[in-house]
């Protein structure tokens, strides 16, 4: 295995932060990621994710879902469904370790039976725990926050990690 998983994860976070800062300059279009950098990060993350490091699992999910290793827009579009399936597998793996931020993505972006199960549990939590849902004062729109997602994760996988590291 390459290096320390926490160090690799921090490198991933820096790369993602830089990419999204670039995207914020013109959010109406997709920007070309540094696919070589993300491909190398992916290579380094995989063994740690396979060994059960939840943050590395989450990072691989984001890399797959955003197509950050794709060289072209066409490659991204052609592989979107496969990328979403791969991301779903990693979100589930991280969720099983109590990562509520992975479960949040699983229920909003994931595919397949685990994602459907997460959506169903989310509806149960909405019904059973309305106090975990905030509301925007001017619009009244519901605000689903970390406490809500922790409860969904607890019900879905029986464990919750603290923090979003």
For 47-84, b/e burial (b = at least 16 CB within 10 A) is: ebbeeebbbbbbbbbbbbbbbbbbeeeeebeebeeebb
**Helix, strand, or coil here: 61?**
helix
Closest by Cα among 121, 133, 123 to 160: 121
d(CA 133, CA 141): 10
Q: What is the pLDDT of residue 14?
A: 97
Exposed, middle or buried: residue 131 (CB in 10 Å: 0-12, 13-18, 19+)? exposed
Residue 157's DSSP bridge partners are: none
Beta strands in 17-150 (DSSP E): 133-135, 142-144
In DSSP notation, 25-60 reads: TSTTSPPPP-HHHHHHHHHHHHHHHHTT-HHHHHHH
Q: What is the pLDDT of residue 164?
A: 53
Do the beta carbons of residue 101 and residue 58 sit within 8 Å? Answer: yes
pTM to 2 decimals?
A: 0.91
pLDDT digits (tens, 9 = 90+) for 91-142: 999 999 999 999 999 999 999 999 999 999 999 999 999 999 998 899 989 8
Residue 146's DSSP bridge partners are: none
Q: What is the pLDDT of residue 52?
A: 95
**Helix, strand, or coil here: 143?**
strand
Mean pLDDT, rounded, for 34-41: 96
């Amino acid at each position: 295995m390459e290096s320390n998983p926490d160090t690799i994860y921090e490198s991933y976070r820096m790369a993602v932060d830089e990419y999204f800062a670039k995207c914020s300059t013109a959010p109406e279009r997709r920007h070309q990621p540094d696919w070589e950098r993300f491909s190398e990060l992916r290579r380094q993350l995989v063994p740690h994710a396979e060994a059960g490091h939840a943050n590395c699992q989450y990072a691989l999910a984001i890399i797959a879902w955003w197509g950050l290793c794709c060289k072209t827009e066409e490659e991204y579009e052609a592989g979107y469904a496969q990328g979403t399936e791969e991301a779903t597998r990693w979100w589930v793996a991280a969720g099983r370790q109590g990562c509520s931020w992975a479960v949040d993505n699983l229920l909003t972006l994931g595919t397949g039976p685990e994602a459907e199960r997460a959506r169903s549990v989310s509806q149960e939590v909405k019904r059973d725990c309305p106090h975990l849902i905030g509301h925007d004062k001017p619009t009244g729109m519901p605000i689903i926050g970390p406490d809500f997602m922790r409860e969904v994760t607890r019900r879905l996988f029986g464990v919750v990690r603290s923090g979003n590291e």
